[in-house]
A and B are shown apart, each in its own frame.
Chain A
Amino acid sequence: GENVEQHPSTLSVQEGDSAVIKCTYSDSASNYFPWYKQELGKGPQLIIDIRSNVGEKKDQRIAVTLNKTAKHFSLHITETQPEDSAVYFCAADERDDKIIFGKGTRLHILP
């Protein structure tokens, strides 16, 4: 089955700087790659996703890139703000549309 590796596990960036989180996946048949943000005590919130027919997608300060050949994808957050502090999960779909998650990255935005 699908295996998703995510790094770093913890990331601290100065407010206003950019943050990058990287993930790799194992199943070349995966076609859907969502990213979730989880705040303390809440369920994961879908913030952006990318499908295998595109290499990059952007939504305001958030962008995702996908390299299907290398089987890796990344989340980029620019102009970070205090409210970006949270745990971020990457994920990839497995056959029958299950989603397999990485272990998460705890992002700290420093004042």
Chain B
Amino acid sequence: AQKVTQAQTEISVVEKEDVTLDCVYETRDTTYYLFWYKQPPSGELVFLIRRNSFDEQNEISGRYSWNFQKSTSSFNFTITASQVVDSAVYFCALIQGPGNTGKLIFGQGTTLQVKP
């Protein structure tokens, strides 16, 4: 069975701290796709990053970075020098495969609160 686990329900940090959001996934597919979405207090879902199973290169986008490790089935998300605007719920998701079916399996979400 396919599953996504975000063990951290809530995280609270002070502005400028670094914070890592954990994501562990389960799948038997050899080709799969992982995502991170941000849900700010306004409620919409904002796409952050896509990673496919055959590309293990880590990625950095400004203050955001992602560490994809197939050996541990993890796809962790780090925010460097957090800001109040980073306060949101963050979801890790996996496409229910095999391949691209368009059906997403979401983790429970991690609520990040960044205090000034």
**Is B truly associated with A?**
no
